[in-house]
Structure 1
Amino acid sequence: MTQKPPTSQGRRCLDLTSAVAIVAASMIGAGVYTTSGFSIATADSAWTVVVLWIIGGFAAVCGAIGYAALSRRFTESGGEYLFLSKTLHPVAGVVAGWVSVLAGFTGPIALAALALDVYLVDAETSALPAGSFAALAIVAAAVLHSISVHPSARVQDVVVALKLAVLLGLVCFAATVGPSNWLGLQAADTPPFSWGETATSLLYISFSYAGFNAAIYIAGEVKDPQRNVPMAMVVGTVVVAVLYIALNAAFVLIPSRESIAGQPDVATIAARAIGGTTLETLVRWVIVVSLATSISALVMTGPRVYAKMADDGFLPRFFSFQHRVPLGAIWIQAVASIIVVFWTDLQFLLGYLSFTLMFCSALTVAMVWKQRDLDLWGSQWLPKIASAMFVLFSVMTMVVSARVNMGGTIAAFVTLAIGVGVYLLRSKSNAPDSGAKLGLERKSEE
């Protein structure tokens, strides 16, 4: 007799703390430790970089509020695939799901793993080929999340808490460095202000905030999802945004401009300027842990989207839940991410991910205006105003992305077109009723 997969109620084992940890782990990746080095190289002032991090954080909080309102109505796992299928049209949902398969999780996993590989190789000399540590990290995360949701989430809770504590300690230590020692403010030769360069920096900073919506991908496994999923996204995003702003203020204000301009390892350079080689070593390993937990969170959340698509007939049944985890989806995603690790170009990948993820997020958040009687914490206008601001920010960012990385933008449109093709093929063959079920029926949410 074939064992039936557990109901969503039976899978609900994650509490608010775990959901917040998943959001924080998904957000704190490679971008926060590297972006400011490139931004300061073209900025007219260190404070300009700090302001850009504030703008990016505000936009991320607005996006989290929009997602939070939608998550109160749709309490199952599935992310943008589920939201767009039920609010706009099934084809939009399938396109978003397809983007998740290629760009939403596989690409960011590879990006974080590659950054982890760089920091590990710098920390300990290794004779292994480049990318080996990245592949091992992905495999380790896949093994961890293949066992069960609850124990792997608890391990991640503890690691994320330790990581946040050390990063907060770095911020507090940096605050003790007097303004007279802020070398970043003493640079004599700085480039003039440029709207183009500033917009480009904001593009990459905004990508560093990606992951604020991570809780929607595991909503079907969260206790009391109407309360905990919205709270996890908003609280997690606010906490990470404040930490990002404080960290990057330290990164660009304390070291000399010349020492960090154009450098990818700005975090370790800043740590050395603040507390010497001991603090630099500590921060380097905190970054390694941060990237490892980011990989873990993405490996955990992505397969839940694929499982939902498989349940609706748009992916093979192999992607569905087996027992308590979507085992097949976890390992297919792991293999795909490892392939990207060994075959990708980071600059191309960054432009591709920036455009595709921003497009799907903006389209999803815009659905707040399409839903009647949608509220968050007793207010109907809070999510509407926040979503409008996020969509406006996203459109401007996508325009910049298209200009900066035309190849990545073209690849993004190809991905969207393939998603439409997947919908047409599956809806006409193996899943003729899936579109109607997703688009027209309003199932009661648990």
Structure 2
Amino acid sequence: MSEALKPPRVLGTVGASLLNLNGMIGAGIFALPALLYVGLGNFAPFAILLFAIPTICLAATCAKLSTVFDQSGGAQLYVETALGKFTGFQVGWFVICASSAGRAANFHVLVSYLAALFPVFDGPVARPMTIIACIAFMTIMSVIGTKRSIGGVWVGTIFKLAPLVLLCVVGIGMNGVPADIELPSFSGLESVALLIAYAFSGFGTSIATAGETKDPRTTVFRSVIMAIVGVALFYAVVQWAYIAIAPETGNADIPLAVAAQKLFGYWGSVMISIAAVFSIATNQLCGFIVFPRVLFGMGERNL
């Protein structure tokens, strides 16, 4: 494809890192602290940081591959280059189908969080209409241009991280960092390893948009490593804050909302619920920005 017809390269290191960050931080962070605390106790923040090490090793493989290519497609492009067009075609459609299933599931979760705040969204007509409206909005956001789409991601990121940062600052400021640490049994560590692995999934979101990234052979590499380090530290701080606040662990589905309610009352719970809505929505928007670029890259290479 001629350069005149290609999408402009507008993504820098910060924008690419933002895609990776939002690919990792979705709905999971709002349930993860209680699950990790039950399995690992006060060792949970250290488990997150330790698990980040093998995750960075895996991410470094993807990041290193990104230094060889300047086209969109990510993993699909790498497989196509190594194993041929037929295998690349299969992997590309597996990626798209998996993403579509994930987007569908997350839209239902998004509406469930909205319904918890505003029950009107849970009606037999309101729920599917809300999902349709969300899909339409995300589609519009994804086609107005990458630069504007990233602006929407910035807004969503601020609204979802600000309440969590406030929770951490106030929680640790009032209660201090927990000092007592008890090492978990191996079986206990095993049971939560998959949870932490899921929490880090999405670290390579930006590799699929290399065709619209400035200097992609260095930018994508940096964005992957920066995002994992940043998210690992953020997850650990959130976990420390949750332990410091020491909320009741009975309601493991909404642990951060319970913690916020303990600190700020009813409106703390509302604050975290709104943050969860923005978190899931921003994660969805990233999917709508990134995965069409896989199809675009496949089309560019006659697949």
1:46 is matched with which residue: 25, 41, 50? 41
Relative to structure 1, the CA distance from residue 245 to residue 137 in structure 2 (aligned partners, 3 Å threshold; closer, same or farther) is: farther
Alignment of 1:293 onto 2:290: no
CA shift for structure 1 position 304: 0.8
Gaps of 5+ in 1: 186-191, 315-446
1:377-418 CA-partner distances (Å, limit 9, x unpaired): xxxxxxxxxxxxxxxxxxxxxxxxxxxxxxxxxxxxxxxxxx
- In percent, how many aligned pairs have the same letter? 23
Q: Amino acid of the residue matched to residue 112 of structure 1?
A: N
Task: Let me know the Cα RMSD of the aligned residues.
Answer: 2.9
The amino acid of 1:12's aligned partner reads R
Q: Which runs of no fewer than 5 residues in structure 2 stay unpaired?
A: none
Matched, 1:200 2:191: yes
> In structure 1, what is the equivalent of residue 230 of structure 2?
239
- Cα deviation, residue 237, structure 1: 1.9
Residue 66 (structure 2) pairs with residue 71 (structure 1): yes
TM-score (norm. length: structure 1)? 0.60
Specify which of 154, 169, 175 is matched with residue 178 of structure 1: 175
| 1:148-206 per-position Cα deviation (integer Å, ceiling 9, x unaligned) | 222122222233244334432322122113259x7xx8xxxxxx9461x5323211221
| TM-score with structure 2 setting the length | 0.86
Where do residues 250-289 of structure 1 align in structure 2 (5 Å cutoff)? 250-260=241-251, 263-289=252-278
Give the CA deviation at 1:295.
Answer: 0.4
Cα-to-partner distance string for 1:57-79 (whole Å, 9 max, x where unaligned): 33333333222211111121101
Q: 2-side partners of 1:300 and 1:63: how far apart? A: 24
Relative contact order higher in (CA < 8 Å, ≥ 6 apart): 2
Q: Which amino acid aligns with 1:229?
A: V
**Aligned pairs, number:** 299
Cα pair distance change 1:179/1:168, threshold 3 Å: closer
Q: Is the 8 A contact 2:26 2:283 kept in 1?
A: yes
CA deviation string 1:14-69 (max 9, x = no partner): 2222212211121110111113334444x2x4224334322333333333322221
**Residue 163 of structure 1 aligns with which residue?**
160
- Alignment partner of 1:13 is 2:4: no
Secondary structure of 1:14's match?
coil
How far off is 1:83 after superposition? 1.1
Partner of 2:109: 115
Residues 61 and 132 (structure 1), Cα distance of their counterparts in 2 relative to 1, 3 Å cut: farther
Q: 2:299 aligns with which of 298, 302, 310?
A: 310
Q: Give the equivalent residue in structure 2 for 1:55.
A: 50
Q: How far apart in 2 are the matches of 1:17 and 1:152?
A: 14
**Larger CA Rg, structure 1 vs 2:** 1
Q: Of 129, 132, 136, which residue of structure 2 is paired with 1:139?
A: 136
CA distance in 1, matches of 2:106, 2:4: 32
Runs ≥4 in structure 1, deviation > 6 angstroms?
none
